[in-house]
Structure 1
Amino acid sequence: IVKALYERTSSAVLLNNQILDFFPTTVGVRQGCILSPILFNLFLEQIMLETLAQDRDQWRALSATSSLMSPRRPYRLRD
């Protein structure tokens, strides 16, 4: 059911009270959809788990109350 919500979706831009041409949407979550925060959190959780499973020394928490992570050596992200 969730997959069906995201198949063949499209978006348009409203500019000067005129709707421009629709274009296919292939990434992201639907704005205003009740499932969007849940889907985003599931996706982000997987990224965090995979990142933390790597070399833990190259990451540091920016604050004790935040899940935000920052690379200790940003140049290593290019490797």
Structure 2
Amino acid sequence: MTAARPRKRSLTLHGHRTSVSLEEPFWIELQEMARDEGLSINALAARIDRERGVSAGLASALRVAVLKRLRALAED
């Protein structure tokens, strides 16, 4: 995987369209995370959005969620 520049992606959160800029490796892991949890990418992003609090931006919250997942998988 390359560490290319972030790419803007469109999401629908809570009925509203928004966009987020994520690097390809994070987007791929986010898609796998959604699939493993039986959620759409929009539903997963909406859940992460609800849980993120006001101090973190959405893109940062998505990256942190991916990092937490990968750490948990590495511990297993």
TM over 0.5: no
Please give the TM-score of this superposition, normalised by the length of structure 2: 0.32
| More RCO (CA 8 Å, sep 6+) | 2
